[in-house]
A and B are shown apart, each in its own frame.
Chain A
């Protein structure tokens, strides 16, 4: 044994591993394919916020403030909830299943960089989030005359609040996925967190009507800020005075959401597990 060359070296084409961007896009496409092919996750993930807003619109019709209908107010919470469902809950439930099945162990055995897996999830979540939000808006406009924002700056705010929010929720979803020991415990970990946040962040109730300790607790987490940022898009400027801070505080929205992106990323990189504890 004197030859220590890689096998078939002569026959190899010059190595052409895809670049980082191509790797991430391929991974995103694979994740999206898997998601779209599993019909029940498509129906439930996409359908949940639509069904919720229809229920809310049916239960509360009337005005919160002059010119601001209940559905107009609650759409912001439903968009934020929808984004959180596709990212935080979807991943917090799904990744433990992939880990349990050994899918992650498989990836670990390849030269795929760790971050590519995260990037694939982010891409999948963003695409699904966009489709789901578009669906939600379309249904709302058709069923109860939701007023879409007119100004381009509002759409811009809509864009960055959604992107920052969904990124933070995605990273946090990946991070909490490591808390679940088995595939069955993923939803047990994630569902209560999501539900409690929804109740205290102004998704189901008008935020300012909540007790102040609850408001302050909610202010520590991203969902409240996502809702607030979206209110600045869908509600008139005049309503800003009713916010806890007397304005929509967009600067603070950006700051808190960005901070959660960083925290989420650090948690992901620090705690992510490719194998279950049972894998030794």
Chain B
């Protein structure tokens, strides 16, 4: 198995009865990479990720995660991966600190629990029972338990659901810090800005198929997409034109207006525009 690749999946398939959730996915994630899986509800993201985590059995296909088949992993395999599930598991009657300390004890070389609690922004809640946490705080606890073992490979299934904007920014910084020390990260998300901010590459999955894998800036030929140039006419109307050569158009406009072009904007389709087009036209 190629040492440069943290994850290799070929022809991955999984059906629930007649419902084919994953229909032949080929996927490669490089070591040290941040890989985002995007896709509409029911696209097969969780199913794919949980097969890679060793939770679900695949019907067909070959999978290698850190050199092991997740269905029959090597002894220390779980020491090397961290998991943040989409669904939370609630422990009864335990505090944040007790839980994080306890989980730290499962790993060969866990991080410092207090530091991890602070890192996910729960320092003020360390003594609180977990059932008293708010939704976003519970999610932070999930993240803490996912990273406590200092994983080589970290899976996060919609990690920022329920985060307030500030928490989301802090979480992004956390992911960048983890990536900076070489952690491979696979995350699923519905937030396109998140994928764009964090991911080296994005995979778009729809109907159980991976329809494209690319760097966020290249997704759906985004760079070649026409730009939209708009400006205000002397009569006060807003005019827009799509153009493959926006610079030329702006120069021409500048000449026409003899200087400043009123209300000038040049925009390219956002990742969200491209994404909606991709999953809409499949």
Tell whether A and B belong to one assembly.
yes
Which residues does A use to contact B, with CB under 8 Å? Answer: 1-8, 12-18, 23, 26, 30, 33-34, 37-38, 101-106, 108-112, 275, 279-280
Partner of A1, one of B30, B47, B80: B30
Query: A15's closest neighbor in chain B, by CB?
Result: B108
Whether A102 touches B4, Cβ cut-off 8 Å, given contacts A4-B31, A18-B105, A111-B107, is no
Q: Are B33 and A1 in contact (CB under 8 A)?
A: yes
Residues of A within 8 A of B108 (CB): 15-17, 111
Residues of chain B from 48 to 106 with CB closer than 8 A to chain A in the complex: 50, 53, 55-56, 76, 78-80, 83, 85, 87-94, 98, 102-103, 105-106
Residues from chain A with Cβ under 8 Å of B98 in the complex: 30, 33
Which of A15, A17, A102 touches B85 (beta carbons < 8 Å)?
Answer: A102
Q: From residue A188, how far is it (CB to closest CB) to chain B in Å?
A: 21
State A43–B83 Cα separation when bound (angstroms). 36
Q: Could you tell me the distance between the alpha carbons of A104 and B55 in the complex, rounded to whole angstroms? A: 12
- How far, in angstroms, from A102 to B106 measured CA to CA in the complex? 18
Determine whether the beta carbon of A15 is less than 8 Å from that of B109: yes
- Given the known interface contacts A101-B89, A110-B78, A111-B78, the answer about A12 and B55 at a Cβ–Cβ threshold of 8 Å is no
- A38–B109 touching, CB < 8 Å: no
A166 and B33 alpha carbons, distance in the complex (Å): 50
* Contact across chains for B150 and A17 when beta carbons are under 8 A apart: no
| A4 surroundings in chain B (CB, below 8 A) | 3-4, 31
Min CB–CB distance A43 → chain B (angstroms): 15
In the complex, whether B182 has a CB less than 8 A from a CB of chain A is yes
Report Cα–Cα, A4/B181, bound state, in Å. Answer: 11
B191 to chain A, nearest CB (A): 23
Residues of B within 8 A of A26 (CB): 102, 105
B7 → chain A, closest Cβ, in Å?
13
Indicate if the CB atoms of B102 and A102 lie closer than 8 Å.
no
Check B93–A101 contact: CB distance below 8 A.
no
Return chain A residues, CB-CB under 8 Å to B152.
6-7
Q: How far is the CA of A4 from the CA of B67 in the complex (A)?
A: 12
CB pair B109–A13 under 8 Å, yes or no, is: yes
A192 to chain B, nearest CB (A): 26
Q: Are the CB atoms of B105 and A34 closer together than 8 Å?
A: no
Kindly report which residue of chain A lies nearest to residue B75, judged by CB atoms: A111
CB neighbours of A111 from chain B (8 A): 76, 78-79, 106-108, 149
User: B39: shortest Cβ distance to chain A, in Å?
Assistant: 17
CA distance in complex: A13, B149 (Å): 13
Contact across chains for A103 and B178 when beta carbons are under 8 A apart: no
Q: Please tell me which one of the listed residues A1, A6, A37, A104 contacts residue B93 in the complex, with CB atoms under 8 A apart.
A: A37
A102 to B16, CA, bound (A): 20
- Residue contact A112 to B106, C-beta cutoff 8 Å: yes
Bound CA–CA A12/B103 (angstroms): 17
- A33 CA / B129 CA spacing, docked (Å): 12
Task: State how many angstroms separate the Cβ of B106 from the closest Cβ of chain A.
Answer: 4
Q: Can you name 23 A-B residue pairings with CB atoms under 8 Å?
A: A1-B30, A1-B32, A4-B3, A4-B4, A13-B109, A15-B109, A23-B105, A26-B105, A30-B94, A38-B92, A101-B90, A102-B89, A103-B89, A108-B55, A109-B83, A111-B76, A111-B108, A111-B149, A112-B106, A279-B55, A279-B56, A280-B47, A280-B56
Across chains A and B, which 9 residue pairs bring their CB atoms closest together, nearest first? A102-B89, A37-B93, A15-B108, A7-B181, A106-B89, A111-B78, A109-B83, A110-B106, A15-B109
Whether the Cβ atoms of A6 and B53 lie closer than 8 Å is no
Q: Is the CB of B150 within 8 A of A12?
A: yes
B92 touches A109 (CB 8 A): no
B109 touches A110 (CB 8 A): no
Q: Name the one of B33, B87, B90, B107 contacting A17, with C-beta atoms under 8 angstroms.
A: B107
B37: chain A residues within 8 A (beta carbon): none
Min distance, Cβ B53 to any Cβ of chain A, angstroms? 7
B199, CB-defined interface residue at 8 Å:
no
Interface residue B145 (Cβ < 8 Å from any Cβ of A): yes
A109 touches B32 (CB 8 A): no
Of chain A, the residue at the smallest CB distance from B30 is: A1
Q: Select which of A14, A30, A275 is within 8 A of B102 by beta carbon.
A: A30
Would A109 and B78 count as touching, CB distance under 8 A? yes
| Shortest beta-carbon distance from A46 to chain B in Å | 17
A89 to chain B minimum Cβ distance, whole angstroms, is 18
CB distance from B207 to the nearest CB of A (A): 17
A111 to B88, CA, bound (A): 19
Which residues from B are CB-within-8-Å of A17?
Answer: 105-109
Which residue of B has the minimal Cβ distance to A274? Answer: B55
1/0 per residue, CB under 8 A from A, across B123-165: the answer is 0000000000000000000000100011010000000000000
Q: What residue of chain A has the Cβ atom nearest to residue B180's Cβ?
A: A7
User: How far apart are the CA atoms of A197 and B90 in the complex, in Å?
Assistant: 33
Residues of A within 8 A of B145 (CB): 106
Among A6, A16, A37, A103, the one with the most B-chain Cβ atoms within 10 Å of its Cβ is A6
Indicate whether A38 sits within 8 Å of B93 (C-beta atoms), given known contacts A6-B150, A275-B55.
yes
Given contacts A15-B109, A17-B106, A34-B94, 5 further A-B contacts (CB under 8 A): A6-B80, A6-B152, A37-B93, A111-B107, A279-B55
Taking each of A7, A34, A109, A280, which has the highest tally of chain B beta carbons within 10 Å of its own beta carbon?
A109
